[in-house]
Amino acid sequence: MNQQSELPLSGIVVVELGDSASAPFTGKILAELGAEVWKVERPTGDSSRGWGPSMWKGSGAAFHALNRGKQSISIDIKDREQLALLHQLIAERADVFLHNLRPGSAAKYGLDAESLRVTKPELVHCEVGAFGHTGPMNSLPGYDPLMQAFSGIMSITGEHDGPPVRAGVSIIDFGTGMWAAIGILAALHRRRTKLDGAAVNASLLETAIAWMSIGVAGYNADGAPGERHGSGVAFIVPHRAYSAADGDLIISCGNDGLFARLSQALDRPEWASDDRFATNTARLANRAEIDRSIADRLAQHPREHWQKRLQDFGVPVAPVQTTAEMVAHEQTKALGIIGAPTGDEIGVVGLPLSFDGKRPPPLPAAQNIGGADDRLHGVLGQRRGTDGNSDG
C-alpha cells in the first residue's frame, strides 16, 4: 500500500467549489488527510492564482500553498451543460461538497444543501460563509481583514498608543478552514452510524468571534473592552517582546514560578520577592515599571546570550525570527513540516499533524486549470456507496 492509501480519509471524495483562501484551505486539509479532492475553478481560475508578488510557474505562490494535491477542473456554473456536469460529479462521486460561493449563489444553481441532499441524503454539504448563514448581515460578502475589524480583534492588536493593526497572516481565513474541516470530519463520523449526511456551516465572522473567547469572557466579567498591548497581552506580565543588544526576544512567564526563574536568569533575584512584582496581579498593576527594568537588563547583551541563559533557567523564550530564519532553523528542518513532492517544486507547509509518528507526505503539485471533460473522463458513471468506496 502507498502512503496516501493509509491516510485517515483514504476513499473519501471531496468536491470543492472554493475560491481564495478559506474553503481551499479546508480542501487542502482534507487532501492531506488522504481525501480525493476535486477542485472546481471558474474558467479564469481561482483568485489566488493572481496573488503576487511571489509567483511560481505562472500562478501566485499562495495558490500553490492552498491547492496542492487536488484535481483541478474548470466549470462555468452559469453554463447549463457545465453546471449539469458538476451536479453529476457530486451525485456520483462526492462524499463531501464544499463551497464558499457568494451568498444566495448556491441556491440559484441548485448547489445548496437542501437541493443536493434531496437525491443524496448521505452527502456532507459544507458552506463557508462570511458573516454567517443567518442574521441581518448574512447576505453580505466579506474578507479576512473585515472580520478582524468587526470582531474586535483589531481593537486589541497593535501598540498602546498606535492605530489598530491587522494580524500579519490570514488568521480568520485559515481558522475558518480549520473549523470547516472539523465540522466535515464530525459529520463524516456521524454518518457511519446514522447513514445520513449533514449541512455544515462555518463562517469568517464566527471564527473571528471564537478567537475572541478570552476577551469576551473578560468583557462580560468586568465590562472592560480591552486594550492594545503591542506584542504583549492584557492578562499576563511579562509575556511580550523585548529588545536585546542585537535583536528581539519573546519572553513568557505564565506564572509566578517562571517569573522567579526569569529574575534569577537576569541576575535580579530580588524582583521575585518585591511586592510590586512578586505576583502576576502585582505585575499587571506595575506593568510599565517591570517591562522597563527587563528591557534595560536585556539591552546589555546579544539575543543569543539571553536565549541560552533563559533556556538554561527553564524560562520560555523564543527569538523574533524572519520567515527566512524560521525556514532555515534546525528545529523547523527536524520537524520536516516544509517540503515538496519533487526537487523541481516549490516547498510549502504540510499538515501540522503526525500519525504514529509520521507526517503525511508532501502532496503532488497544484495543477494547471484543466477542462472538466478531459479530467473527468473515466471517473463518472460509477456508483458509490455511502462508505466512500466505489461499487462499480
Annotated catalytic, 173?
Answer: yes
Instruction: Tell me the backbone φ, ψ of residue 249, rounded to 5 degrees.
Output: -130, 145
Give dist(CA 71, CA 86) in Å, integer.
14
Give how far Cα 57 sits from Cα of 39, 41, 61, 64, 345, Å.
19, 18, 9, 10, 9
Q: CA torsion sign, 28 to 29 to 34 to 40? A: negative
Q: Count Cβ atoms within 10 A of the Cβ of residue 227 and give its class: 0-12 exposed, 13-18 middle, 19 or more buried.
A: exposed
Which pLDDT does position 3 carry in this prediction? 57
Strand pairing class (348-349; 13-17): unpaired
User: If pLDDT is split at 50, 70 and 90, which confidence band does 385 have?
Assistant: very low
pLDDT at residue 370 greater than cutoff 90: no
pLDDT tens for residues 100-144? 999 889 999 999 999 999 999 999 999 999 999 999 999 999 999
End-to-end CA distance of the chain: 21
Amino acid making up residue 37: V
* Mean pLDDT to the nearest integer, 363-373: 85
Mean of all residue pLDDT scores within the chain: 93
Write down the residue that cell numbers 522567579 correspond to. 260
Which pLDDT does position 5 carry in this prediction? 64
Q: Which of 173, 248, 274, 373 is catalytic?
A: 173
Which pLDDT does position 387 carry in this prediction? 43
* Mean pLDDT to the nearest integer, 1-14: 80
Residue percentage of the chain with pLDDT more than 70: 96
Q: Are 277 and 286 in contact (CB under 8 A)?
A: yes
Amino acid making up residue 141: P
Which pLDDT does position 341 carry in this prediction? 87
| Helix axes 213-222 and 204-211, enclosed angle (nearest 10) | 60
SS3 state of residue 333: helix
* Mean pLDDT to the nearest integer, 266-278: 97
* Mean pLDDT to the nearest integer, 337-357: 92
pLDDT at residue 176 greater than cutoff 90: yes
pLDDT tens for residues 326-336? 999 999 999 99
Domains and CATH numbers, the chain: 4-211+333-376 (3.40.50.10540), 239-320 (3.30.1540.10)
Choice among 3-12, 90-99, 355-364 with the minimum mean pLDDT: 3-12
pLDDT tens for residues 204-235? 999 999 999 999 999 999 999 999 999 999 99
Alpha helices in the chain (DSSP H): 22-32, 61-67, 80-93, 105-108, 113-119, 144-150, 171-194, 204-211, 213-222, 256-265, 280-285, 287-298, 303-312, 323-328, 330-335, 372-376
Which pLDDT does position 391 carry in this prediction? 35
Beta-carbon count within 10 A of 173 CB: 24
Q: Are 239 and 253 in contact (CB under 8 A)?
A: yes
- Show contacts of 230-239: CB within 8 Å, 24+ apart: 230/158, 230/159, 230/160, 232/291, 234/156, 235/284, 236/280, 237/280, 237/283, 237/284, 237/287, 237/290, 237/291, 238/262, 238/283, 238/290, 238/291, 238/294
Which pLDDT does position 235 carry in this prediction? 92
Nearest CA among 106, 166, 104 for reference residue 140 = 104
Contacts of 38 (CB under 8 A, 6+ apart): 13, 14, 15, 16, 70, 71, 73, 89, 93, 94
Which pLDDT does position 369 carry in this prediction? 84
Contacts of 225 (CB under 8 A, 6+ apart): 152, 155, 219
Q: Which triple of cell numbers denotes residue 111? A: 448547489
* Mean pLDDT to the nearest integer, 283-311: 97
Which pLDDT does position 55 carry in this prediction? 93
Q: CA torsion sign, 19 to 20 to 22 to 25? A: positive
